[in-house]
Amino acid sequence: MKVCTTVTDLDGELSAVRNDGKSVGFVPTMGALHKGHISLINSALEQSDFVVCSIFVNPTQFNDASDFEQYPRLAEEDEKVLENAGCNLLFAPSIDEMYPGGSDDFKISIDLGALATVMEGEHRPGHFDGVVQVVNRLFEITRPDYAFFGEKDFQQLAVVREMVRILGHSMEIIGCPTVREPNGLAMSSRNKRLSKAGFNTAANISSVLMSLQQRSESYEDMEGWAIEQLKVMPEIDLEYVKIVDGRTLMEANANSETVVACAAAWLEGVRLIDNVTLRPN
Ligand code: AMP
Give the pLDDT of residue 245.
Answer: 98
Pairing label, strands 172-176, 146-150: parallel
* Closest to 261 in 3D by CA, of 269, 270, 251: 251
**How much is the average pLDDT of 95-105?**
98
Give the pLDDT of residue 281.
Answer: 75
Give the pLDDT of residue 19.
Answer: 98
Q: Which residues are annotated as catalytic?
A: 37
Q: What is the mean pLDDT of the chain?
A: 97
**How much is the average pLDDT of 80-104?**
98
Give the pLDDT of residue 175.
Answer: 98
Q: Residues near 163 by Cβ (< 8 Å), separated by ≥ 6? A: 110, 112, 132, 135, 136, 169
**Strand residue runs (E) in the chain:** 2-4, 24-29, 50-55, 89-91, 146-150, 172-176, 237-245, 259-267, 270-279
Pairing label, strands 24-29, 259-267: unpaired
Give the pLDDT of residue 104.
Answer: 97
Give the pLDDT of residue 128.
Answer: 97
Closest C-alpha to ligand 1, atom 10: 149
Q: Answer whether 178 contacts ligand 1 (Cβ < 6 A).
A: yes
Give the pLDDT of residue 129.
Answer: 97
Q: For a pLDDT cut of 70, what percent of the chain falls above it?
A: 100
Cα–Cα distance, 12 to 91 (Å, whole number): 12
**How much is the average pLDDT of 176-188?**
98
Closest C-alpha to ligand 1, atom 7: 29
Label residues 101-121 b or e (16+ Cβ within 10 Å = b): eebeebeeeeebeebbebbbb
The atom of ligand 1 lying closest to the CA of 178 is 20
- Binned at pLDDT 50, 70 and 90, residue 156 comes out as very high
Ligand 1 pocket test: which of 40, 53, 188, 262 has the largest number of ligand atoms within 8 Å of its C-beta?
40
Cα–Cα distance, 71 to 209 (Å, whole number): 26
Q: Answer whether 60 contacts ligand 1 (Cβ < 6 A).
A: no
**How much is the average pLDDT of 44-59?**
98
Pairing label, strands 270-279, 259-267: antiparallel
Ligand 1 pocket test: which of 37, 73, 146, 164 has the largest number of ligand atoms within 8 Å of its C-beta?
37
Q: Estimate to the nearest angstrom the gap between the alpha carbon of 234 and the chain centroid.
A: 27
- Binned at pLDDT 50, 70 and 90, residue 90 comes out as very high
Give the pLDDT of residue 27.
Answer: 99
Burial group, residue 139, by CB count within 10 angstroms (0-12, 13-18, 19+): buried
CB 18 within 8 A of CB 11: no
pLDDT per position as a tens digit, 20-41? 999 999 999 999 999 999 999 9
Say if residue 232's pLDDT is above 90: yes
Q: Which residues pair with 193 in a beta bridge?
A: none
* Closest to 155 in 3D by CA, of 275, 277, 68: 275
**C-alpha distance from residue 4 to each of 21, 106, 145, 241 (Å):** 21, 21, 19, 40
Has this prediction a pTM greater than 0.75? yes
pLDDT per position as a tens digit, 243-254? 999 999 999 999
**How much is the average pLDDT of 126-142?**
97
Give the pLDDT of residue 20.
Answer: 98
Q: Residues near 18 by Cβ (< 8 Å), separated by ≥ 6? A: 24
